[in-house]
């Protein structure tokens, strides 16, 4: 399967990078065709300009490439830290520019009525989201309401046609031991393999 | 009062810009000291680099200026479209870089235990958020779960110490008439004046 892995974290020594490396290795071991984007390392241009808002806008080559890749992806893995209940701006900008109308979704006929009903265009069978957090899970649920679940699941991937969706948050990172982090990476490997198993030769 | 108005929309002909102009005019009519930032027009550098993650990081002058301004603001108005249940990356990057530890919040003692409890440092008495949307409100609530409410209220401004918070979403924009938009702008004026009334001379 063609799988896109999208990472949004500025520090290459971060646990997010370790998660991404583990996921990519696992996918390759399982025989998949992996497109890995460390958006910071690639200096992805994350700010959508006004002229890209129209549906039929002319796009720069880098955005066209990202759009073609995500449209063809049979699986997607997103990896980022929880910053204010949202992804870092770098990854939000990838969403803004790449998950475009005509690529990730279109509208039902009669959209001119403002019904806001999307038709998903992504062909990805499975979407995984791996997050890191420094907020304990009970506080995230009770005080902050975990907007990342709404954002990635309801607002994005279910709307865009993904047939299965799974999200896992690792934390609290800041106080974690090496042993915990190693255990978490084994979990990343297990989750990745479960959703994207090796294809029989 | 010192009021910061932060706008995140790429198109200067957008209804978001009309909202911002109305809010700024109303504040000035009421005698307030307004700092208005059209982040796109100012080409705000929205991508937080790794070296700014540490609490005591050295900051570029533009970020220091934004931090000092928001720390001193007695009121804050945020204006942006609902893009995927989140602000555009441009505005998310302003949040990432400006609402820093030591500026917008600090941690309780014993943070090394990973309790994740913030102490708000903002002195803003009131925060307003004006959003625009092309999703009808009933669909936003039932299908998407309105993550923007969680994001701005629970995750950000209440955590950072704002004593009053009010958010209003205008829409559906795409199908609105001129008359509706004029009515909405009168509402912007009324809400702004209610929260930031004229100070007696």
CB contact under 8 A, A46 and B50: no
CA distance A160 to chain B (A): 11
CB contact under 8 A, A89 and B86: no
CB contact under 8 A, B48 and A10: yes
pLDDT at B112 over 60: no
What is the pLDDT, as a whole number, of residue B44? Answer: 98
Tens digit of each residue's pLDDT (9 = 90 or more) over A3-37: 999 999 999 999 999 999 999 999 999 999 999 99
Angle between helix B89-98 and B61-72 (nearest 10): 80
- In whole angstroms, what separates CA B167 from the centre of its chain? 10
Structure tokens, A107: 């509208």
Q: How confident is the model at residue A158 (pLDDT cuts 50, 70, 90)?
A: confident
DSSP output for chain B: -EEEEEE--S-TTSHHHHHHHHHHHHHHHTT-EEEEEETTTTT------GGG-STT----HHHHHHHHHHHH-SEEEEEEE-BTTB--HHHHHHHHHHS-BTTTEEE-TTGGG----EEE----SEEEEEEEESS-HHHIIIII--HHHIIIIIIIITTTT-SEEEEEEEE--TT--HHHHHHHHHHHHHHHHHHSPPPP-
CB contact under 8 A, B47 and A134: no
CB B170 within 8 A of CB B100: no
Of B49, B112, B155, the CB nearest to A84: B155
Question: Which residues of B, range 29-48, sit inside 8 Å of A by Cβ?
Answer: 40, 46-48
What is the pLDDT, as a whole number, of residue B97? Answer: 98
Tens digit of each residue's pLDDT (9 = 90 or more) over A32-80: 999 999 999 999 999 999 999 999 999 999 999 999 999 999 999 999 9
CB contact under 8 A, A139 and B116: yes
Mean pLDDT of A128-154: 93
Exposure string (b/e) for A89-128, b if CB count within 10 Å is 16 or more?
bbbbbbbbbbbbbebbbebeeebeebbbbbebbbbbbbbb
Contact with chain A for residue B93, Cβ under 8 A: yes
For chain A, list the domains and their CATH numbers. 2-195 (3.40.50.360)
CB B26 within 8 A of CB B79: no
């Amino acid at each position: 399967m063609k799988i896109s892995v999208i990472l949004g974290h500025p520090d290459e020594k971060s646990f997010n990078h370790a998660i991404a490396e583990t996921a990519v290795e696992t996918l390759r071991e399982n025989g998949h065709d992996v497109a890995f984007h460390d958006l910071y390392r690639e200096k992805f241009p994350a700010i959508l300009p006004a002229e890209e808002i129209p549906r039929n806008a002319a796009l720069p080559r880098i955005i066209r490439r990202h759009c073609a890749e995500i449209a063809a992806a049979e699986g997607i893995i997103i990896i980022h830290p929880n910053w204010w209940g949202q992804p870092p701006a770098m990854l939000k900008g990838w969403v803004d520019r790449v998950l475009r109308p005509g690529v990730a979704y279109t509208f039902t006929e009669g959209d001119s009525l403002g019904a806001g009903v999307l038709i998903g265009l992504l062909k990805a069978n499975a979407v995984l989201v791996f997050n890191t957090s420094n907020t304990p899970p009970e506080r995230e649920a009770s005080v902050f309401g975990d907007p990342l679940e709404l954002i990635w699941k309801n607002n994005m991937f279910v709307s865009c046609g993904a047939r299965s969706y799974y999200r896992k948050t690792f934390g609290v990172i800041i106080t974690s031991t090496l042993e915990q982090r190693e255990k978490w990476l084994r979990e990343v490997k297990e989750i990745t393999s479960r959703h994207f198993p090796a294809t029989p030769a």
